[in-house]
């Protein structure tokens, strides 16, 4: 067993590949929780990663809500939160019954089982969102293709920032377009953290959007131009780009 003094007052964590910095007092705030037992020496200490951070093999994205709950004694979730069931699972693992109960009854957006609750038309402002992707097909050695595999490099999202955040929630990557403080601006620089176009369509449909139009380029087909290192020439010939415009009235 370890003594409290073995842990510094400020800790660096690696939770499933996501890094956090937090206070020892935060992690030990709930005495009966698994985190408190671990970081007071009453349970075995977690291993350290290559950079010396304590490693927890849990969902790194959802751990932010665990920390927020410990810091504030309250659960606040984004309106488009869809992983309530998984958050309850994390709460159960860390032995935080109050967080598990809060995730079950409310505390933000989303409904039971991680599905979004139905919203009134007044809470759903109208607008347009454009979703685009560049794709190809997977090719093996010597140009042998297995066209069952569609390759999407990135799914782009364009539209009003608030609307995009409301629809795509935690799956929206805003790293290329930091918030400049304007609450009602437009952007064409968002992209999604996954590459499943049908998942993006499902999320739009759940929020009341319908497809208004689409367009796409044909495959390159002709001889490939000079390629970047590591780019397969056959796959490059089949590159194409598609856009889909969704509307909510």
Residues in the chain: 249
**Biggest CA-to-CA distance, the chain:** 68
pLDDT of residue 121: 42
Calpha distance 19→13 (Å, rounded): 6
pLDDT value, residue 53: 93
Q: Is the pLDDT of residue 84 over 50?
A: yes
Query: Per-residue pLDDT tens for 148-191?
Result: 567 788 899 999 988 898 888 888 888 777 665 555 789 888 99
Alpha-carbon gap, residue 240 to 98, rounded angstroms: 49
pLDDT mean across residues, the chain = 81
Question: Over 50: is that where the pLDDT of 15 sits?
Answer: yes
The answer to whether the pTM exceeds 0.75 is no
Instruction: Give the E-state strand segments of the chain in sequence order.
Output: 10-15, 18-23, 54-56, 127-139, 145-160, 172-173, 186-192, 210-216, 240-248
Helix axes 197-206 and 161-168, enclosed angle (nearest 10): 100
Quick one: three-class SS letters along 107-134?
Answer: CCCCCHHHCCCCCCHHHCCCEEEEEEEE
Non-local CB neighbours of 191 within 8 Å, separated by 6+ positions:
154, 155, 156, 157, 173, 176
User: Which of 105-114, 144-153, 224-233 shows the highest mean pLDDT?
Assistant: 144-153
8 Å CB contact between 211 and 244: yes
Which pLDDT tens digit goes with each residue over 135-150? 887 665 555 555 556 7
- The pLDDT value recorded for residue 83 is 85
Domains of the chain as residue ranges with CATH: 4-114 (3.30.710.10), 122-248 (no CATH)
Query: What does the block give as tokens for 235?
Result: 């796959």
């Amino acid at each position: 067993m370890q003594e409290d003094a073995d842990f510094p007052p400020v800790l660096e964590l690696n939770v499933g590949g996501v890094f956090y910095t937090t206070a020892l007092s935060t992690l030990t705030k709930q005495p009966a929780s698994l985190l408190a037992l671990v970081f007071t020496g009453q349970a075995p200490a977690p291993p350290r990663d290559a950079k010396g951070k304590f490693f927890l093999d849990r969902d790194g994205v959802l751990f932010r809500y665990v920390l927020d709950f410990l810091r504030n004694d309250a659960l606040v979730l984004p309106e488009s939160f869809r992983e309530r069931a998984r958050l309850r699972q994390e709460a159960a693992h860390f032995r935080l019954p109050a967080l598990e109960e809060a995730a079950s009854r409310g505390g933000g957006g989303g409904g039971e089982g991680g599905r979004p609750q139905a919203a009134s038309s007044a809470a759903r402002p109208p607008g347009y969102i454009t979703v685009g992707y560049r794709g190809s097909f997977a090719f093996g050695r010597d140009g042998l293709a297995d066209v069952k595999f569609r390759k999407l490099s990135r799914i782009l999202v364009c539209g009003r920032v608030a609307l995009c955040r409301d629809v795509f929630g935690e799956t929206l990557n805003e790293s290329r377009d930091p918030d400049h403080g304007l609450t009602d601006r437009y952007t064409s620089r968002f992209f999604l953290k996954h590459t499943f176009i049908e998942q993006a369509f499902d999320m739009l449909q759940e929020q009341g959007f319908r497809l208004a139009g689409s367009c796409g380029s044909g495959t390159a087909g002709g001889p490939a131009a000079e390629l970047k290192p590591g780019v397969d020439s056959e796959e490059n010939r089949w590159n194409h780009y598609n856009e889909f415009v969704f509307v909510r009235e």
